[in-house]
Chain A
């Protein structure tokens, strides 16, 4: 039985706690930003999640207690932060220094400090995995790993479900951006502050991570990013007259990372609809691979986290 410590009790962290038992793992420590619960024999997921829902806390302890608890794999699911990527980076660092494994759902450390993280890993008996950081449930990074980064020339795709939902609705209903954004917020598809989703930052972080996996050394600052905020309904209408639509497309190679709104054929592979994501991989010997699926959501992303846990402990 693998013992998990879960840092972060947002949608992803909570789903990992909820599903860990089904995957045969026990959760021995949980922390959110204010509190922690630790039990070397395994925490009761249901009770812990009820407490988080009713009291806003996961347990009686200080968050620090979770990091020093007994566990085999640390699941880092605190919110993504830019720049120094803290506190996620330090969480990963301390875990690797203690020769234990880290599974990241937090994009910050692998997008902003990839080289440092890999250096720490090379000194450690533990490993780092981060499937959940790109494309949610879509097995993008493990597919790259299986293909071998040297056999992949480019990766592109639709990597933000919120932006894709907005563009899909704008084109289908002839509504403008503000209107559709409000609708997306009502539906819970967009957050109260959707900036990272609509200005391209979230998709860019994912592309930076992919470019790093391909062998580049990038951070967000190296990416050329534009978002979908300024796009009026009239632009989508003009695209439609030409059999096209607009998608926020991210592209990563070893040389560059670009994210921006692009014209794509209306019924083409990249024109996935709603919150769906697609990852397209160009290979040297195997042509083009397309993998589409749910790019976000608690259980979806948790399934990617738990797949990584499985890979580390098999």
Chain B
């Protein structure tokens, strides 16, 4: 690496999800600049919504390798939902099945809490309630998480499910294939 490259740092891509509200983009960009990140490009995919109704934004940033984690941390602290950071886009996708009174226990609240605490993102949800919404139903969630945080994410799922008296069918992570 030449000296000039070292000064500019390395390029990273950060994928964010933003609410469709005024000021959200600016709010997301400020922590990048304040933490030594040099904005290279912004791709704001308006009109294209994520499964949760947010707007996907891709930001290319240059910074010293040692400072990149600080940039991501600052974004998260600012309440920005970071879907992907640098090389490591949520490396793992795992499925879990939840069983119980999913509707009565507010499925959307359950999902929201997974997103908030599980360091995972809910990629999609399939619900099966053959006996109607009053009875026991099942839901399959696909969660995306960073490779080394899958176990943490599942622990959080277990915790929230046990609070709501839901049965969790976890993925068998080892030996399944």
Contact = CB atoms under 8 A, between A and B. Distances in A.
A238 B138 contact: yes
Name, among B100, B168, B174, the residue most crowded by chain A CB atoms within 10 Å (CB to CB): B174
A237 B139 CA distance: 10
Nearest to B142: A242
B136 to A, nearest CB: 6
Contacts of B138: 232, 234-235, 237-238
A175 interface: no
Nearest to A227: B167
A231 B175 contact: no
Contacts of A230: 99-100, 136, 167
Interface in B154-177: 167-172, 174-177
B128 interface: yes
Main secondary structure of the interface of B (DSSP, over half): strand
Interface residues of B, number: 24
B22 interface: no
A231 B95 CA distance: 16
Contacts, number: 84
Contacts of A251: 174
A268 B177 contact: yes
B95 A244 contact: yes
A100 interface: no
B171 A263 contact: yes
B142 to A, nearest CB: 8
Interface string A237-269: 111011010110101000000001111110011
A244 B142 CA distance: 13
B130 interface: yes
Name, among B96, B126, B172, B177, the residue most crowded by chain A CB atoms within 10 Å (CB to CB): B172
Nearest to B176: A264
B160 to A, nearest CB: 16
A277 to B, nearest CB: 14
B99 to A, nearest CB: 5
Interface residues of A, number: 31
Contacts of B169: 231, 235, 239, 246, 260-263
Contact of B175 (A156, A235, A246, A261): A156
B176 A238 contact: no
B108 to A, nearest CB: 18
B130 A234 contact: yes
Contact of A238 (B100, B128, B177): B128
Name, among B136, B169, B171, B177, the residue most crowded by chain A CB atoms within 10 Å (CB to CB): B169
B177 A260 contact: no
Given A238-B97, A242-B95, A264-B172, A231 B128 contact: no
A232 B172 contact: no
A47 interface: no
A86 interface: no
A234 B129 contact: yes
A268 B176 contact: yes
B140 interface: yes
A239 B97 contact: yes
A230 B95 CA distance: 19
Given A232-B138, A234-B138, A263 B95 contact: yes
B84 interface: no
B13 interface: no
A154 interface: yes
Given A262-B170, A263-B169, A270-B172, A231 B99 contact: yes
B137 interface: yes
Contacts of A118: none
Interface string A140-158: 0000000000000010100
Contacts of B95: 239, 242, 244, 263
A241 B140 contact: yes
A226 interface: yes
23 contacts: A230-B100, A231-B167, A232-B99, A234-B137, A235-B138, A237-B128, A238-B126, A238-B138, A239-B95, A239-B140, A241-B140, A242-B95, A247-B172, A261-B169, A262-B169, A262-B170, A262-B172, A263-B96, A263-B97, A269-B176, A269-B177, A282-B174, A282-B175
Interface of A: 154, 156, 226, 230-235, 237-239, 241-242, 244, 246-247, 249, 251, 260-265, 268-270, 280, 282, 288
Please give me the 8 A-B residue pairs with the lowest Cβ-Cβ distance, nearest first: A234-B128, A262-B172, A238-B140, A235-B138, A234-B138, A264-B176, A263-B171, A264-B172
